[in-house]
C-alpha cells in the first residue's frame, strides 16, 4: 500500500474511533507508519487528509450499500438486505458518526461528502420504494421519501441505541420494528 493510501486509511480509522479533534497528525503518522514529511508531501495538512479520508469512507459506504440495494430481489427484500447486512454495530456507522462531530459539521468541505452520501442513500432507497409502488409490491399511497428517511434514520438511530446500551440487540430490534412496519405496506408479504 502506498504512503498516501496508508495515511488515508489510518485517518479513516482514527476519525471513526476518535473524531476530528482526537485525530492528531502524530496519531495518523504513527498508525500509518509514515513520517511527517510524507504526510505533508502528499496532503496540505490535517484538513486535506481528513477530507480525503471522509471522501473515501463515504465512497466505501456507497459501494457497500449499492451492492445490496442494487442486488436481486423485490424492493422489500433489497431494503431488508441493506438493513440486515452484517456490520459492527457497536462501532457505529463511520459516516453517520461524523454527523455528530462538531468540527466536521462546522466545516462545509468536510461535511459535504457526509451529507452527499446520506442524501444518496435516501435517494436510492426512495427509488427502490417507488419501484415497489409502481409494481404493486407496496400499497398505493406509500410515499417513498419519508419511507427512505425512516430507513436511514432507523439504521443511524439503531447504532446510537446499540452504542448506548452496549448491545447490538438494540440495533436489531429497531431494524425488526421497521421491517414489520414496511412489510405491512406490502401487498405480497
pLDDT tens digits for range 108-136: 999 999 999 999 999 999 999 999 999 99
Which residues touch 118 (CB under 8 Å, ≥6 apart)?
95, 96, 99, 152
Nearest-angstrom CA–CA distance, 134 and 128: 10
What's the grid cell of residue 70? 442494487
Nearest-angstrom CA–CA distance, 10 and 102: 21
pLDDT tens digits for range 25-47: 999 999 999 988 888 888 988 99
Domains and CATH numbers, the chain: 57-183 (1.10.357.10)
What's the grid cell of residue 97? 458518526
Amino acid at each position: 500500500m502506498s504512503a498516501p493510501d496508508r495515511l488515508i486509511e489510518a485517518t479513516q480509522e482514527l476519525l471513526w474511533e476518535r473524531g476530528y479533534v482526537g485525530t492528531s497528525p502524530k496519531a495518523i503518522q504513527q498508525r500509518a507508519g509514515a513520517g511527517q514529511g510524507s504526510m505533508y508531501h502528499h496532503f496540505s495538512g490535517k484538513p486535506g487528509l481528513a477530507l480525503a479520508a471522509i471522501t473515501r469512507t463515504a465512497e466505501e459506504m456507497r459501494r457497500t450499500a449499492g451492492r445490496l440495494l442494487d442486488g436481486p430481489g423485490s424492493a422489500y427484500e433489497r431494503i431488508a438486505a441493506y438493513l440486515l447486512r452484517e456490520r459492527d454495530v457497536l462501532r457505529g456507522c463511520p459516516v453517520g458518526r461524523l454527523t455528530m462531530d462538531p468540527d466536521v459539521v462546522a466545516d462545509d468541505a468536510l461535511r459535504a461528502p457526509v451529507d452527499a452520501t446520506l442524501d444518496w442513500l435516501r435517494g436510492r432507497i426512495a427509488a427502490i420504494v417507488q419501484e415497489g409502488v409502481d409494481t404493486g409490491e407496496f400499497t398505493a399511497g406509500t410515499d417513498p421519501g419519508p419511507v427512505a428517511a425512516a430507513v436511514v434514520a432507523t439504521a443511524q438511530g439503531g447504532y446510537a441505541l446499540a452504542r448506548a446500551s452496549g448491545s447490538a440487540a438494540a440495533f436489531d430490534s429497531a431494524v425488526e420494528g421497521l421491517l414489520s412496519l414496511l412489510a405491512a405496506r406490502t401487498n405480497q408479504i
